[in-house]
Chains A and B, each alone.
Chain A
């Protein structure tokens, strides 16, 4: 149950870092383009997260042997 999918937060944090770097006047132009392209990709990812997402509801149960299970519930 590790968290490997990109999160809105990591996208936003990275985007804000990109903006700060882009606003630095001493930035090399190649690097600026590279950052910009990364930023556009991440903007798309972040926006699609807001668009397509659906609430996931799970019900947590503890089995007799102490293991924890989370099963889907229709919200």
Chain B
């Protein structure tokens, strides 16, 4: 401590010459107190609250053993809905100081929160959220749509957790033709924040990633807390590709959830959000196949009508030929799922059908003289049952 007399002189002189002024004492006391404490979290009961017209709040914080005077300036309290009630249990984040003019030890309160609302956890959450909001990171307009058919999915999570297994099994079931690139990281405890931020930065350096999932399975509030870190939230916001957050259970909404493009209630739900379902995709292909066949058939008959009008019979014959091919292609298109039976025919088997196109499978279905069709590998052949044993 430089300037002014030292508080720790062993034997203060009993003369007016060496005497401290009161102001010196309180100033020095303030310096000592302020240097001796960092900001503190203090829990206590509010009493004697006075909210002055100036907007500043004065009150006492006390517990069973002691009490301390507190002030919360207007600039710090104007974000709060109103002054706490007398008797309320609160957490304050405060800086101890000495009010020089009165020689009074007191706390300058920067933040105040009812303990019922979650205490310092909640306070930190709200503060980080406000900072993200200020930077526009929570704006709905920032949200990007997810790609409809991703091929490479990055997943920032712990390889040991249930989240990884859940996501892998949902992908396996719904849309297995993808690559899941896991960027392993701790998701709770010391160092988790730094590791998750690092993993998210790493994702931005991976090639051809279409979408990112970040998250973990359920846990206690403390376990999930790293996903309320402002640093982690900012790293999620900085992802180059769309992101899906999946932290814990349905009820836990974290800052990561608020920043991600899509919030999924659980890791499994995140996996469902990022890939389509393959049975839906099959239906879509089926619809395409039908439209294709119909389109071609319509095309071919239209061509024939025109040609018949021109009377060009040779051309018409060519078109008819085309039409037959088209009909065959149509069958092919509609029967793609039945490709394996065609392969069976290719090995030398044949399928017998009657005039109504029913498949004939038993001897009893072949009365002597019955006309039927045999489908072999490259087309149909007309046939007649001879009767008796072959």
Contacts and interface: CB of A to CB of B under 8 A. Distances in A.
Nearest to A9: B149
A39 B333 contact: yes
A9 to B, nearest CB: 4
B171 A60 contact: no
Interface string A1-30: 111000111001001101100110101010
B148 A9 contact: yes
Contacts of B205: 68
A73 B160 CA distance: 12
A33 B292 contact: no
B288 A50 contact: no
Given A7-B149, A22-B299, A29-B303, A55 B172 contact: yes
Contacts of B299: 22, 25, 27, 29, 32
Interface in B314-368: 319, 322, 325-326, 329, 332-333, 336-337, 339
A15 B149 CA distance: 15
A16 B285 CA distance: 9
Most chain A CB inside 10 Å of its own CB: which residue of B181, B299, B325: B299
Given A19-B295, A27-B299, A36-B292, A46 B180 contact: no
B278 interface: yes
Interface residues of A, number: 42
B83 interface: no
B202 A68 contact: yes
B309 interface: no
B221 interface: no
24 contacts: A1-B208, A2-B208, A16-B288, A18-B292, A19-B291, A23-B295, A27-B299, A36-B292, A39-B333, A40-B336, A43-B285, A43-B289, A43-B333, A46-B285, A50-B282, A53-B177, A56-B178, A57-B168, A59-B182, A59-B184, A60-B182, A60-B183, A60-B206, A70-B181
Interface of B: 148-149, 151, 154, 159, 168-169, 171-172, 176-184, 202, 205-208, 278, 281-282, 284-285, 288-289, 291-293, 295-296, 298-300, 302-303, 319, 322, 325-326, 329, 332-333, 336-337, 339
Interface of A: 1-3, 7-9, 12, 15-16, 18-19, 22-23, 25, 27, 29, 32-33, 35-37, 39-40, 43-44, 46-47, 49-50, 53-60, 62, 68, 70, 73, 75
